[in-house]
Chains A and B, each alone.
Chain A
Amino acid sequence: MTERTIAVDYLARVEGEGALKVRTKDGHVEDVELKIFEPPRFFEAFLRGRAYAEAPDITARICGICPVAYQMSSCHAMERALGMSVGGPIRELRRLLYCGEWIESHVLHIYLLHAPDFLGYPDAIQMAKDYPEAVEHALALKKVGNSLMTLLGGREIHPINVRVGGFYRAPTGNELKEFRPQLDAAMKFAEETVRFAADLDFPDIEEDYEFVSLRHPAEYPLNEGDLVSSRGVHVPQDHWEDVFEERQVPHSNALQSVRKGGGSYLVGPLARYALNQDRLTPRAAELARSVGLGPVVRNPYKSIIVRAVEVVYAIEEALRIIDHYTRPERPYVGPPAVARAEMGAAVTEAPRGILYHRYNLAAGGLIEEAKIVAPTSQNQKRIEDDLRHLVERSLALDDATLTDACERAIRNHDPCISCATHFLNLELVRE
Chain B
Amino acid sequence: MSAAAKPKLGVFKFASCDGCQLSILDCEDELLAVANSVDIADFREASRAVLDGPYDLSLVEGSVTTEHDAKRIKEIRAQSKALVTIGACATSGGIQALRNFGDVEEYRRVVYAKPEYISTLATSTAIADHVKVDFELRGCPISKAQLLEAVGAFLQGRAPNLPNESVCIECKRRGNVCVLVAHGTPCLGPVTQAGCGAICPAFNRGCYGCFGPQATPNTVSLITELKTLGMDPGTVQRFFRTFNSNAPAFKAASEAAVAEAKA
A→B interface (CB under 8 Å): 10-17, 38-46, 48, 50-51, 54, 57-58, 61-65, 67, 108, 112-113, 116, 122-126, 128, 135-136, 139-140, 142-143, 146, 154-158, 160-161, 163, 168-169, 248-250, 253, 255, 331, 407, 416, 418, 422
In the complex the two chains form, what is the Cα distance from A161 to B199 in whole Å? Answer: 9
In the complex the two chains form, what is the Cα distance from A140 to B96 in whole Å? Answer: 34
Q: Which of A14, A50, A158, A248 contacts B117 (CB 8 A)?
A: A248
Residue of A nearest to B210 (CB): A158
Question: Are the C-beta atoms of A64 and B18 separated by less than 8 Å?
Answer: yes
Given contacts A123-B49, A168-B203, contact A45 B28 (CB under 8 A): no
Given contacts A40-B118, A139-B31, contact A46 B140 (CB under 8 A): no
Question: Are the C-beta atoms of B202 and A154 separated by less than 8 Å?
Answer: yes
Question: Are the C-beta atoms of A169 and B238 separated by less than 8 Å?
Answer: no
Question: Are the C-beta atoms of A42 and B17 separated by less than 8 Å?
Answer: no
Is B32 an interface residue when CB atoms closer than 8 A count as contact?
Answer: yes
B231-260 toward A: CB 8 Å interface, digit per residue (1/0)? 000010010001100000000000000000
Residue of B nearest to A117 (CB): B48
Is B44 an interface residue when CB atoms closer than 8 A count as contact?
Answer: yes
Question: Are the C-beta atoms of B32 and A169 separated by less than 8 Å?
Answer: no
Enumerate chain B residues within 8 angstroms of A48, measured Cβ to Cβ: 110
Question: Are the C-beta atoms of B28 and A10 separated by less than 8 Å?
Answer: no
B164-205 toward A: CB 8 Å interface, digit per residue (1/0)? 000000000000000000000000000000001001101111
Question: Are the C-beta atoms of B238 and A17 separated by less than 8 Å?
Answer: no
Is B15 an interface residue when CB atoms closer than 8 A count as contact?
Answer: yes
Enumerate chain B residues within 8 angstroms of A160, measured Cβ to Cβ: 199-200, 203, 205, 208
Question: Are the C-beta atoms of B47 and A13 separated by less than 8 Å?
Answer: yes
Please list the 9 inter-chain residue pairs (A to B) with the smallest Cβ-Cβ separation, ordered nearest first: A64-B19, A123-B47, A45-B107, A122-B49, A46-B98, A143-B28, A41-B96, A139-B28, A64-B17
Enumerate chain A residues within 8 angstroms of B106, measured Cβ to Cβ: 45
In the complex the two chains form, what is the Cα distance from A50 to B208 in whole Å? Answer: 15
Question: Are the C-beta atoms of A61 and B32 separated by less than 8 Å?
Answer: no
**In the complex, what's the smallest C-beta–C-beta distance from A102 to chain B, in angstroms?**
15
Question: Are the C-beta atoms of A146 and B26 separated by less than 8 Å?
Answer: yes
Question: Are the C-beta atoms of A154 and B203 separated by less than 8 Å?
Answer: yes
Q: Which of B22, B43, B49, B69 contacts A64 (CB 8 A)?
A: B22
Is B1 an interface residue when CB atoms closer than 8 A count as contact?
Answer: no
Enumerate chain A residues within 8 angstroms of B18, measured Cβ to Cβ: 15-16, 63-65, 416, 418
Question: Are the C-beta atoms of B47 and A122 separated by less than 8 Å?
Answer: yes
Question: Are the C-beta atoms of A40 and B117 separated by less than 8 Å?
Answer: no
Residue of B nearest to A255 (CB): B112
Q: Which of A113, A126, A248 contacts B112 (CB 8 A)?
A: A248
Count residues on chain B whose CB falls below 8 Å from chain A CBs. Answer: 64
Given contacts A125-B35, A168-B204, contact A143 B29 (CB under 8 A): yes
Given contacts A51-B235, A61-B140, A139-B28, contact A39 B48 (CB under 8 A): no
In the complex the two chains form, what is the Cα distance from A196 to B253 in whole Å? Answer: 54
Enumerate chain B residues within 8 angstroms of A416, measured Cβ to Cβ: 18
**In the complex, what's the smallest C-beta–C-beta distance from B229 to chain A, in angstroms?**
16
Enumerate chain A residues within 8 angstroms of B200, measured Cβ to Cβ: 154, 160, 168
Residue of A nearest to B243 (CB): A61
Residue of B nearest to A371 (CB): B111
B43-61 toward A: CB 8 Å interface, digit per residue (1/0)? 1111111100000000000
Enumerate chain B residues within 8 angstroms of A124, measured Cβ to Cβ: 46
Given contacts A154-B203, A160-B205, A169-B204, contact A41 B95 (CB under 8 A): yes
Enumerate chain B residues within 8 angstroms of A163, measured Cβ to Cβ: 205
Given contacts A65-B22, A169-B204, contact A45 B49 (CB under 8 A): no
**In the complex, what's the smallest C-beta–C-beta distance from B206 to chain A, in angstroms?**
10
21 contacts between A and B (CB under 8 A): A15-B45, A17-B44, A39-B15, A40-B65, A46-B98, A46-B102, A61-B95, A108-B25, A123-B48, A128-B35, A136-B32, A139-B28, A143-B28, A157-B22, A158-B140, A158-B141, A169-B203, A169-B205, A250-B114, A418-B16, A422-B111
Question: Are the C-beta atoms of A45 and B110 separated by less than 8 Å?
Answer: yes
Question: Are the C-beta atoms of B208 and A57 separated by less than 8 Å?
Answer: yes
Enumerate chain B residues within 8 angstroms of A422, measured Cβ to Cβ: 111
Question: Are the C-beta atoms of B17 and A61 separated by less than 8 Å?
Answer: yes
